[in-house]
Structures are given as structure tokens and as C-alpha cells.
Amino acid sequence: MPFLFLIAFTLVSAFLLSKYLSKCQTKNLPRGSLGYPLIGETLSFIRAQREDRGWDWLEERILKHGSVFKTSLMGSPTVVIIGQAGNKFVLGAEEDVFAPKQPATMQGILGKQNILELTGSRYRLIKGALVTFLKPESLQNYIKEMDSLAKTLILRETKEKDTIKAAFFMKKLTFTMACNILFGIRDEYTIEALFKEFASASKALWSLPINFPGTVYWKGLRARSSIANLSLPILRKKREDLSNDAIIDNCITLVIASHDTSTILLSLMIRQLARDPEIYKKVLEEQMDIVKKREGKEDKLTWAEIQKMKYTWQVAQELMRTIPTVFGGFRKALKDTSYAGYAIPKGWQVFWSSDGTHMNNDIFENRKSPIPPYAYMAFGGGVHTCIGNEFARVETLTTIHNLVTMYEWSQLNPEEVITRQPMPYPSMHLPIKIKPRRLF
């Protein structure tokens, strides 16, 4: 019966999709393939991501069809637009042209009232509520707590050990920090339970929109329900003027966004410092100089010290360029429009990719002028630029400061490859050998 149901669902979906696409035949659509009914090219796209060949997947189609092409991803016909001008067109468009609507799987996991889905006054309301504790003035009050929490968790993880799986530990550290700092969730049992559920929810973000027992998406929806049951009683205290759905939707979105992206960035930095002695030396010198200048004062990070970590943050920014934490993003066309002479029908998705500009040597390596807008896309662009970018910077620098000043390390598997889940992640959880450092 499950198999017959899946066949029937696929056939019906294929029929509806063919009827919809028939309306677009007279339009000047971009070249490309919509792939299989319902599935489209989603499976090959996800497979390429897992093998860290996302850019190769795009480049194959760019070489064949050009920098604007059509495909079908996550259950929806999609126009892919590559390049700096394309990024500006998509992310800088008016909200009545392109809405920040995500694929069905992302919307199902994150919820319809998450900030990535909203526009207009509703977007401004949710953004205002979240920014109150993400703006620099608020973050200054979190520095000591972040510093203390990072140090405590690092010491706990490394106690009586000389090796750790750094990427997995970074997942737990950033998740615990998000729960503590952003939402005031400090009960260890609750954090551990939420950690497991968020892992399932994250995996379902880029999956096929098939809600059937056993599928990745089905597991993700169940995880979302568990997250709501575990966290809503706590989060109601922060509700302000938001509904229960808005609280849960944006809690899930904010935790996934802050926790997953920071995990990846920290893991990549640990990996890079182990692989490049020159960079490691400069980061160490910068961090140790901060410690030395305290002159016996309180052994806690300050906001002023965070601002001195310029080289360390430059390393982080370069890693976000060469291995973007976010590969790209979706918008939905609310009206018929066009780009570069090609039609984009109402209802279609539009996809932009950070690699389309990040890998452009003319912009980043051979430049003689400042980087143009919509070229460095680590935090997106336009009205919906990531509101948590400053939180990510402070969290990353605080954690690296403690790691570098407390330990030295080496990578146990230098040939370990990066995979995407859908964010880049060391395939073996980045095992490293650690050794306590003597400060002076």
C-alpha cells in the first residue's frame, strides 16, 4: 500500500505539473531541464551537495545553458541566476516581485511565520522583536556569559582526553550557547533533548517534500512538533506580542541559523589553523596579545577585546568566502517578470548561489577596487540580510579565543573531506589531537 500510494502521488503530481507548465510554453523560458516529474533534479542536486560538488553541479549547467537556466528543485520549477548582477536582481527586488518564500520542506520545518518567509509590516514586527537581543548593544551584555560558557564547555569536553571530534563538539557548544544566550534555556536535560530533535529538523530542510512515514521530511516534521512541546512553555516568557506559532517558528529558525552556521565556521577555522602554521601563528599572536595586556585584571573577555580580533575575523571571512556556510537561497516570483531576456513565470522559484561570485577571481583575487555589493554573500543581501551576523561574529571570536589560548592541536586525518548536509561539514567530525597550552 505505501508503494502504491507513492506511485499514485507521483502520477497526480506529474499531471498537475505538466498542466501548469503547459501554460508557460509560449514564454521565453531559460534553457535547461526540469528533470523528472515532482522530483525534478532534486536528487542529483542533494547528492552533489553531500559530496561538496554543489558548484560543479551548477557549473555543468552553466556551461551548457548559460548563467541563467531552469531546473526543478524541492518540488517546484526553478530559475537559477548566477553572478553579482543576478544576486542584486534577486535579493534587491521589491517584495511584490520576489517574496522570500522557501521550498515546501523548509517552510514545513521552519513554519509559515518564520522571518525568512515574511514581508512588509509582519516582517518588520518579527525582525524588531528578534533584533532587540541580537543588536551590538545587547551583545555587549552577553560577552562575559559567552566567554564563561565557552570555557566551561571546552574544559568539560577535554577533561582527561587528548583527542576530540571537534566538529561534533562545536555543534553541541554552539547549540548550548544559542539556548542559553538567545532563549534562556539552561536545563541540561532539555538542551540535550532539543539537540537531538534539531538535528533531525535540520536534515529535513533540503529534502523531497514527501510527508510519508520513514522519509526525511516526515522525521523532520515530527522533530518540529517535539521542539514545540519542549520549548514553548519556556519561550512564552519572551513572547512580547507574538503568537505561539510565531514564537516556535522563529525559535527554530534562529537556532538553526545561528547554531548550524557558527558550527560550520568554527569547525572550518579549527581545520584551517591545524593545516596552515602561518595563519595559526598570526591568530595565536593576536589572541595572546589580548591576554597579556590585561595585566592581572579580570580574566574575562570584554567587548573592546572582541573588536581587537581583526585578523582572526579576517580568517573567518575568507573561509566563509571559499567554503560558504550557505550555498544559496530561494525566492518566489509573485508576478511574471524577466531577467537577461528570459521569462520568470509567476509562482516559480528563483535560486541564487554564493559560489557564483565567491569563486570569481576577478572580484576577490585580482581586484584593484573594493568588493562590489552583492558579491560577498556570507550573510545574504538586501532587506533580508541575516540579522544574526553580529551574534555569529561574537560567538565565533569568543570560542576561538578560548580554544587558542587554552590548547594547541593537530588534525588526525588531514585528508578528511568536506560534505554538505546541506551546510559544509567535515565527513569524520574533524577528530583532532589536543594539548593544553601554558600561557606564559
Over the stretch 203-243, which tens digit does the pLDDT of each residue have? 888 788 888 899 999 999 999 999 988 888 777 665 555 77
Determine the Cα–Cα distance for residues 176 and 150; give it in Å rounded to an integer: 9
When mean pLDDT is compared across 141-155, 287-301, 349-363, the lowest value belongs to 287-301
Q: How far is residue 216's CA from residue 264's CA, in Å, rounded to a whole number? A: 22
Q: Which residue has the higher pLDDT, 165 or 25?
A: 165
Tell whether the model's pLDDT for residue 293 goes beyond 50: yes
pLDDT at residue number 297: 66
- Residue 431 pLDDT grade (very low, low, confident, very high; cuts 50, 70, 90): very high
User: What is the pLDDT at residue 1?
Assistant: 46
Checking if the pLDDT of 91 tops 60, the result is yes
Quote the mean pLDDT of the chain: 88
Out of 84-93, 198-207, 370-379, 431-440, which region has the weakest mean confidence (pLDDT)?
Answer: 431-440
Question: Tell me, what amino acid is at 350?
Answer: V
Residue 323 has pLDDT above 60, yes or no: yes
CA 91 to CA 376: how far, in whole Å? 13
Mean pLDDT over 405-412 rounds to: 95
**pLDDT of 269 strictly over 90:** yes
Q: Which residues pair with 337 in a beta bridge?
A: 344
What local confidence, expressed as pLDDT, does residue 208 receive? Answer: 80
The CA distance from 4 to 17, in Å, is: 20
Q: 3-state DSSP call for residue 79?
A: strand
User: 363 pLDDT band (50/70/90 cuts)?
Assistant: confident
CA distance 320 to 13: 38
Q: What is the secondary structure of 325-346 as a DSSP string?
A: SS-EEEEEESS-EEETTEEE-T
pLDDT of residue 314: 96
Tens of pLDDT, residues 27-56? 799 999 999 988 899 999 989 988 888 899
21, pLDDT greater than 70: no
Q: What band does 345 get if pLDDT is binned at 50, 70 and 90?
A: very high
Of residues 256 and 81, more confidently modeled = 81
Band (67; pLDDT cuts 50, 70, 90): very high
Q: Please state the rounded mean pLDDT for residues 376-381.
A: 91
Return the pLDDT at 270: 97
Q: Does the pLDDT of residue 313 top 70, yes or no?
A: yes
The pLDDT-based confidence of 162 (bands split at 50, 70, 90) is very high
What is the pLDDT, as a whole number, of residue 252? Answer: 86
- The reported pLDDT for the residue numbered 8 is 52
Starting at the edge strand found earlier in the chain, the sheet holding 328-333 runs 68-73, 76-81, 349-353, 328-333, 98-99
Cell for 315? 580568517
pLDDT at 13 over 90: no
Q: What is the pLDDT of residues 95-147, one digit of tens each?
A: 899 998 888 888 899 988 888 888 888 888 888 888 887 888 888 999 999 99
